[in-house]
Amino acid sequence: MKIYSFSPFGYEGALVNVEVDLRRGIPAVDIVGLADSAVKESRERMQAAIRNCGFDFPPERVLISLSPADLKKEGAGFDLPIALSVLAANAKKNGEGDFIQEPVLVMGELELSGKIRPIRGVNAAVSTAAACGIGICIVPEQNADEAREVSGVQVYGADSLENAVRALKDISIYKKSGGKSEEETSVPKGCSQVDGVLFQQDLEGFEFADIKGQYKLIRALEIAACGGHNLLALGAPGCGKTMAIQKFPAINPAMNMEEAHSVTRIWSIAGLIKPSQPLIRLPPFRIPHQTASIEGICGGGVNCRPGEISLAHNGVLFLDEAAEFRSSVLQMLRVPLENGNISLCRAGRTTTYPAKFQLFMAVNPCPCGNFGSKTKICLCSAKSVEQYWKKFSAPLLDRIDLRVFVDNEEADLNKEGQAREELKTTAEIREKIASGVKFMMRRQNMKNAKLDPEGIANFCIQEDASKGVLNAAINRYGFSPRLTSSCIKVARTIADLDHSEKIRPVHMRESVEYHKLCCNMVPELA
């Protein structure tokens, strides 16, 4: 029998083989294999736990080897595998009992009483073990449901050292991993189904009918939810742009199983998995504070923990008051927006986190917020407005597919104070998005925002008149090649919402309207 544990580092991590040798000499416990302080302290915790659970601790000198030797071992998750390895070695030496012969992954932190505490990174550890052919795992009971979301692995959730020892002796007590298929979990907890597409279950505060006016912003959110596009909402303070964007999770379709497992692994590494939600099916929606550092956004630290862009993987990263973020933070977003991942290098080690996120930004038109207002006076100088917009470089704005100017004074009301159009409810928007997503997925297995040049050529078929609309916009507004591609992809999404096989002129005109704002770094539509 081989006992393995897991050393978390970045997205990948590594399996660690735990070996124990009992030899003659003065009783002592030695740990070799580049262990950090938390792992070295496990000597005292596991000795106390073994004795307090009624087991005999070997009277010989105990040598514990953690291999590979050149990999730094960190965290308290090595307590339980070390304790079980010691007990197995002692039982083998004394000829007591038989243990299962298959390799086993073991993780858990021990209390002095022998109780097992939960740890982070269990989903990532079990996924790595399954990929390496290890089919049996012993994990803390609180982490068991998280581990069972990995297919093809037998998982035992132990709450104490005694139960973990029992699991090592009797393979029949293991429960097979759920590894639930997509059909079995078609409507998971917290989700509701609309025309075959999953959404977040209705919650208080996510009703779009509560927003008075701002139809253009709501329409942009509808397009963003269907096609996975990035969005910039520009408007004066208090116009409702933040409130509308924060309702976006209600209309954002749920992830498929492959996306859900990828997000769950990242959140497990970060220690954010809740026992009530072992598998994350709803797209993340992250709102970092304006004081966030580069490390907080892109990830880093000693163990290369995931940052906000990776925690928002397959979801949304919302930067409210985006101009208040540091310029270095904003410019750092360009590479992951383009590549869909981010590589972190620390102390000679490299890890790559996935970071396929939608970027939403809410920003004022100037430092005081009154630039372009019909009723208020802007006190900002031309130079201060220019400096304000320099934070958003042209390469970053080129990667924003939808730019919306949100008018504070015109809340789309008529003279009687009634809305000019009938208010759209969240349910109506979901039905529209669900039909658009199904139409899009019948043609391709990805969202329009992720199409490469070949995909644009194959799937974004334009009518001759729509090509003329696009060429006129390129000449007038100076669209870059990247912005031109973005314009075509947004038009494709608008066409999908209309169930149109080809991009018509009306679709292209609407797309151009969403792209011409900020072309000259100032809000020309104000």
pLDDT band of 175, cuts 50, 70, 90: low
Mean pLDDT of 464-470: 95
Residue 74: is its pLDDT beyond 90?
no
- Residue 112 has a pLDDT of 95
Pair (396, 422) in one structural domain:
yes
Pair (74, 150) in one structural domain:
yes
The β-bridge relationship of strands 299-300 and 305-306 is: antiparallel
Contact 522, 507 (CB under 8 A): no
Give the model confidence (pLDDT) of 352-383 as tens digits. 999 999 999 999 989 888 887 777 888 888 88
Provide the angle, in degrees to the nearest 10, between the axes of the packed helices 505-515 and 464-477: 20
CATH number, domain with residue 206: 3.40.50.300
Pair (121, 232) in one structural domain:
no
Give the model confidence (pLDDT) of 410-424 as tens digits. 444 444 444 445 568
| Number of structural domains in the chain | 2
CATH number, domain with residue 92: 3.30.230.10
Give the model confidence (pLDDT) of 482-491 as tens digits. 999 999 999 9
Q: Which of 113, 37, 22 is CA-nearest to residue 78? A: 37
Pair (250, 346) in one structural domain:
yes
Mean pLDDT of 140-161: 93
Give the model confidence (pLDDT) of 342-354 as tens digits. 999 877 778 999 9
Q: Residue 506: inside a domain, yes or no?
A: no
- Residue 191 has a pLDDT of 86
Q: Which of 479, 447, 480 is CA-nearest to residue 197? A: 447
Mean pLDDT of 226-242: 92
Pair (139, 243) in one structural domain:
no
Give the span between the Cα atoms of 312 and 341, in whole angstroms. 11
Residue 312: is its pLDDT beyond 50?
yes
Q: Which of 508, 474, 484, 480 is CA-nearest to residue 494? A: 508
pLDDT band of 4, cuts 50, 70, 90: very high
Pair (282, 229) in one structural domain:
yes
- Residue 505 has a pLDDT of 96
- Residue 416 has a pLDDT of 47
- In this structure, of 319-333, 369-383, 474-488, the range with the lowest mean pLDDT score is 369-383
Q: Residue 230: inside a domain, yes or no?
A: yes
Q: Residue 424: inside a domain, yes or no?
A: yes
Give the span between the Cα atoms of 150 and 5, in whole angstroms. 17
Pair (167, 314) in one structural domain:
no
The β-bridge relationship of strands 349-354 and 341-346 is: antiparallel
- Residue 524 has a pLDDT of 43
Give the span between the Cα atoms of 75 and 468, in whole angstroms. 61
pLDDT band of 60, cuts 50, 70, 90: very high
Pair (161, 218) in one structural domain:
no
Q: Residue 465: inside a domain, yes or no?
A: no
- Residue 519 has a pLDDT of 57
Tell me if residue 359 falls in helix, strand or coil. Answer: strand
Of 176, 210, 234, the domain-final residue: 176
Instruction: Tell me which residue has tokens 């596009």.
Output: 229
Mean pLDDT of 17-45: 92
Residue 510: is its pLDDT beyond 80?
yes
Alpha helical stretches, state H, 281-407 = 294-298, 308-311, 327-332, 334-339, 382-390, 394-398
Pair (356, 256) in one structural domain:
yes
- In this structure, of 44-48, 112-116, 210-214, the range with the lowest mean pLDDT score is 210-214
Q: For the beta carbon of residue 205, count every other beta carbon within 10 angstroms.
A: 9
Strand partners, 63: 21, 30
Tell me phi and psi for residue 513, to 5 degrees: -60, -35
Of 434, 466, 497, the domain-final residue: 434
Mean pLDDT of 317-331: 94
Residue 520: is its pLDDT beyond 80?
no
The mean pLDDT of the chain is 89
Of 378, 412, 434, the domain-final residue: 434
Mean pLDDT of 74-85: 93
pTM of the model: 0.90
Q: Residue 195: inside a domain, yes or no?
A: yes
Give the model confidence (pLDDT) of 438-458 as tens digits. 999 999 999 999 999 999 999
Q: Residue 445: inside a domain, yes or no?
A: no
User: What angle (nearest 5°) sits at the alpha carbon of residue 340, between those of residues 334 and 344?
Assistant: 80
Question: Which of 310-338 are b and which e, b meaning 16 or more Cβ less than 10 Å from the residue's Cβ?
Answer: bbbbbbbbbbbebbebeeebbebbeebbe
Q: Residue 128: inside a domain, yes or no?
A: yes
Looking at per-residue confidence, does 134 or 238 come out higher?
134
Pair (209, 307) in one structural domain:
yes
Q: Residue 256: inside a domain, yes or no?
A: yes
Pair (412, 333) in one structural domain:
yes
Per the structure, the complete domain to which residue 235 belongs is given by: 191-434
Mean pLDDT of 494-501: 96
Residue 8: is its pLDDT beyond 60?
yes
Pair (169, 251) in one structural domain:
no
- Residue 412 has a pLDDT of 46
- Residue 323 has a pLDDT of 92
Residue 523: is its pLDDT beyond 60?
no
- Residue 348 has a pLDDT of 73
Instruction: Tell me which residue has tokens 């020892």.
Output: 165
List Cα–Cα distances, 393 to 230, 232, 526, in angstroms: 16, 13, 20
Give the model confidence (pLDDT) of 247-285 as tens digits. 999 999 999 999 999 999 999 999 999 888 899 999 999
Looking at per-residue confidence, does 174 or 498 come out higher?
498
Mean pLDDT of 62-71: 93
Give the span between the Cα atoms of 188 and 471, in whole angstroms. 46
